[in-house]
Chains A and B, each alone.
Chain A
Amino acid sequence: MENSFNIIGKPVIRQDALEKVTGKAKFADDINEPGQLYGVMVRVPTVHAIIDEIDYSDLLQAKPDVIIVDSNDIIGTKKVGPIRQDQPIFSFDKIVTPGDVVAMLVGESEDELKSLAKKIKIKFTELPALTDPTKSLESNAPKIHPQYENNLIVHYPLRKGDVEKGFRESDFIHEESYTTQFVEHAYIEPEAVIAIPLEGNKGIKILGSIQNPFTCRKVVASVLNWPLTKVRIVQAELGGSFGGKDDTMNILSARAAVAALKIGKPVKIRYTREESILESYKRHPYILKYKVGCKKNGKIVAMKIDILADGGAYSSMSPFVTWRSVVQAAGPYEIENVWTDVRAVYTNNPYTGAMRGFGSPQPIFAQESIMDEIAAKLNLTPDEIRKINGFKPGSYTASGQKLENHDVNLLEVLDTAVKETNFTSKWKENKSKTNFNGYQLDKISETNAEQLILKKKDYINPNEQLRKGIGLAISYRGCSLGAEGIDAAAAYLSVQNDGSAYLLSGLAENGQGMKTTYTIITAEVLGISPNDVYYLETDTGLIPDSGPTVASRSTLMGGGAVKAASDIIRNRLEEFLRTEWKLKPQAQFLFKDGMVSLKGTDQLKISFKDLCLSAYKNGICLAAVGWYKSPEVNWDEHTGQGSAYFTYVYGCQVAEVTVEMGTGKVYVDKITAVHNPGKVINLLGAEGQVYGGVTQGAGYALWEQLTSAEGKIRELNFDQYLIPTAKDIKEIKPIFVEGKDIHGPWGAKSLGEPTLELTSAAIANAIKNAIGKRFYNLPINLEEVLLRRKLFPKDLKRGSS
């Protein structure tokens, strides 16, 4: 089968494309139920406070029939969370971040409810706000959650070899610190959900922009104190997620459910962009310290890493996000001695959780920046230092895992990227042109502003105003959940007696094209067209819990389950044919173009359609549940050693930029993205992942940043939170170097997150190549390039208001 794919690897149009180009696709806020009411949130204008009293009397006087829902309406769990249950559905004891919600008003008009909300009098006692994560662990730091001993959410150590001995044996040591910023997912569809109480004893149905229906079901059921079966989560078309419609949506669903059951009517919650950015979680800002010991020949012998992650007000996914960091922080390099500490702490900042990349973009920015600096010290090119230290088949990772049983093709991926971009000669040429005294704006402080008067040597020749740079970054990435938890997925396939088929998996379509990938897999196994496969609506009532749609695991795990289900049906059909055609048990068949034939002959053939009808008439079951379970992985919490993931993917991105010396503007000319996703299932979908991931990665590198003034977010909408537009990135070139693997459908693994994690590091290295300056703090925006610091307005004023 390997060499004769019918559809696998070709570009296939999305199965949901038609409804999406005609405006017929139903997103959560496009769905309305008769008699539905709206929920509007009530928040407190503070960052950190004790709630003393919530007084509804003025509100009730103004509108006696207003429906108020708060913590007192919750029968089950009042606080939820994937690992630690520290996040309230409605805050009742404390406010720990400005997004917190104390109550929800329910009624027919959102506008009316919003003005009514002002009549609620909330008495609270302000507490000192903790916004600097470096102060979180100080003994006098305010405790964000008093039920825990301190503000430490998690600490992962990793100890391999003897790092001090490694430093002693090194010819030189290089140390640097880096920081990364808060980043918003910026899915274009804001959160929306509708909870519909069902008749009699049937429970509740929840329809929404929900990334992880099974996690959502678990949260809602625990809040209602109901069995799982009485909570049915149905996913509406999801307008982007990128890891972002998990915790927030589970909590919104729970609020809508509590309200809907209290009133006995459907309740819809839909967020404005401002509310979405205010309350939803972000990508973790990291502070990263790297110390690297190296031999003269370029071999790295010791690496010591200290990472502090700002978990914000709730633990959310912090323990899992930072776990991926501890596994991968030393990069795709074989290093004998590694000492890593990763800590996540509470602050009063917006909470941080899952976002595309999931704990990898931050350490990759640091580790790939420092690799270039080490190369510079040794007079090596960036690709040379990586070839010396990069993983080869049989290499051992920082956690002591031997890389085997898959194509460890990191160096092939690197080589492809270097050759494709003519990297080395461009890099050397650009570097030779960076000798420039220039004005040292970053050295100017307010006290020596007279230096702003340029000296003759400071003037830039107009011809040298634009500087070209090229830079690269490489990574390895563990596929799926790894030792984070149980890793298995299900798919349901029901072939009809006319040869068409229903398909459903327990993972969710977030816009990435998963349904199309799955229909291709079934179509390939059964030799039919993807158009013959009808993908059913995602509904927790119809399919086994398959875990969350995260960790770039859909193609690998869900795809594995779809293939398993398809293989079960194909085997049954083959068995039936052997009996019908009186063949030997070893007889082989060809399923292709809607026909099934005995391999190697034209004599025995039947259309797939007729075969299904015939099998059906003979009582053959043509429905099956496929199950795909990951192999065992293991992890020692104390030493950070173990087989963290059962397989890995490798990537290399090359960034080519132009830097405008006078303004600090960085133009992204081209990103060449070389990835090994295992096997490409849908070429159109795979390229789409690269274009999207690289663009988000460039936004992370150059523009995107969420900041706060005294704990309150400044950038609450797209006028201030800047994501890339159609004009910001000139060219993106995806290249796939496929590798063999025993896991996943035909060896297909992960792609979504690798595409994003490398871009910021490649751009940072390209900027250094262009202008000779190294930047340590993302994003590398205009001010950072010119001044090495960020400039912000002093207050929260927006526009002309």
Chain B
Amino acid sequence: MIINFKLNGKEKSVTISNNKRLIDLLRDDLKLTGTKEGCSIGECGACTVIINGKAVTSCLVLAQQVDGCEVITVEGLADGDKLTKLQENFMKYGAIQCGFCTPGMLMSAYALFLENPTPSREEIETAIEGNLCRCTGYKPIIQAMISTASEE
């Protein structure tokens, strides 16, 4: 089947099989390997992307479900060489170690800021509680998000 959707600001039209997952469309067909697969059951959050403003685990979404939607992946965050404040703060506060959870973490965080530019600490923790990180203990990630919120 053919689906049409907006991916990182650009209109896309792709032919897919009915049972293709969104993560496979992104990684295999469109070569956007920034989105990671860590558990395949929606528990680790590494594959999180934004669909119509909401953070969604792309391993649990069929590609055909994004027909007519607007999808943002980690590759769509920066405007050319210009990083978002969120990305800059992830770097500055040490929110990255191995970096495998980082794309999904960024997307959950970005979705929160789209909805609420000045979230509380608790709202920040809730927004990323579905994203597992084994390296950072989350503290630098939360700090990066708090700083992003206060810069709004």
Contacts and interface: CB of A to CB of B under 8 A. Distances in A.
Mutual binders A and B: yes
A125 to B, nearest CB: 34
Contacts of A185: 134
Contacts of A685: 94
A239 B74 contact: no
Contacts of A460: none
Given A726-B131, A732-B139, A21 B87 contact: yes
Interface stretch (A11-19, A496-504, A591-599): A11-19
A292 interface: no
Interface residues of B, number: 52
A436 interface: no
B140 A691 contact: yes
A29 B135 contact: no
B134 A723 contact: yes
Contact of B78 (A22, A684, A688): A22
B98 A238 contact: yes
A27 B27 CA distance: 12
B103 A187 contact: no
B51 interface: no
A688 B141 CA distance: 10
B41 A239 contact: no
Q: What is the size category of the interface that chain A forms with chain B?
A: 35 or more
A74 to B, nearest CB: 30
Contacts of A732: 137, 139
A510 B91 contact: no
A189 B38 contact: yes
Contact of B91 (A13, A29, A273): A13
B40 A272 contact: yes
B77 interface: yes
B133 A188 contact: yes
B34 A14 contact: no
A718 B57 CA distance: 14
Contact of B40 (A22, A238, A273): A273
Instruction: Tell me the dominant secondary structure on chain A's binding face.
Output: loop
Contacts of A511: 97-100, 135
B128 interface: yes
A759 to B, nearest CB: 11
Contacts of A13: 91-92, 94
B142 interface: yes
A729 B73 CA distance: 29
Contact of B37 (A14, A29, A693, A724): A29
A23 interface: yes
A22 B74 contact: yes
Contacts of A513: 97
B59 to A, nearest CB: 11
B134 A718 contact: no
Contacts of B132: 186, 188, 718, 723, 725
B44 A718 contact: yes
Contacts of A684: 93-94
A446 interface: no
A580 interface: no
Contacts of A16: 99
A202 B41 CA distance: 41
Given A188-B98, A727-B126, A30 B139 contact: no
Interface in A581-622: none
B96 interface: yes
Contact of A719 (B32, B43, B78, B102): B43
A24 B135 CA distance: 19
A94 to B, nearest CB: 31
B129 to A, nearest CB: 5
Contacts of A691: 136-140
A725 B38 contact: no
B35 A23 contact: yes
Looking at B40, B126, B130, the one whose CB has the most chain A CB atoms below 10 A away is B40
B34 A17 contact: no
B63 interface: no
Interface string A415-455: 00000000000000000000000000000000000000000
Interface in A698-733: 717-719, 723-727, 729, 732
Contacts of B140: 687-688, 691
Contacts of A190: 37-38
Interface string A773-798: 00000000000000000000000000
A21, A190, A717, A719, most chain B CB atoms within 10 A: A21
A699 B41 CA distance: 21
A318 interface: no
Contacts of A726: 125, 128-129, 131, 133, 138, 141-142
Contacts of B113: none
Contacts of B22: none
Given A22-B77, A188-B132, A273 B38 contact: yes
Contacts of B131: 726
A687 B73 CA distance: 29
B56 interface: no
A45 B135 CA distance: 34
B148 to A, nearest CB: 12
B81 to A, nearest CB: 10
A240 B87 CA distance: 20
A699 to B, nearest CB: 9
A20 B94 contact: no
Contacts of A694: 137
B41 A692 contact: no
B48 to A, nearest CB: 12
Interface in B80-133: 83, 87, 90-94, 96-103, 106, 125-126, 128-133
A13 B87 CA distance: 12
A692 B94 contact: no
A685 B97 CA distance: 8
Nearest to A733: B139
B46 A21 contact: no
15 contacts: A21-B74, A21-B91, A22-B75, A23-B103, A27-B36, A29-B33, A30-B27, A187-B100, A188-B36, A189-B98, A242-B134, A273-B40, A691-B137, A719-B41, A732-B137
The 9 A-B pairs with the shortest beta carbon distances in the complex, nearest first, are A23-B34, A511-B98, A239-B100, A691-B137, A20-B99, A695-B137, A23-B74, A30-B33, A718-B43
Given A22-B87, A23-B75, 7 more contacts: A21-B83, A188-B36, A189-B36, A237-B100, A685-B94, A692-B134, A718-B44
Interface of B: 27, 32-41, 43-44, 46, 73-75, 77-78, 83, 87, 90-94, 96-103, 106, 125-126, 128-142
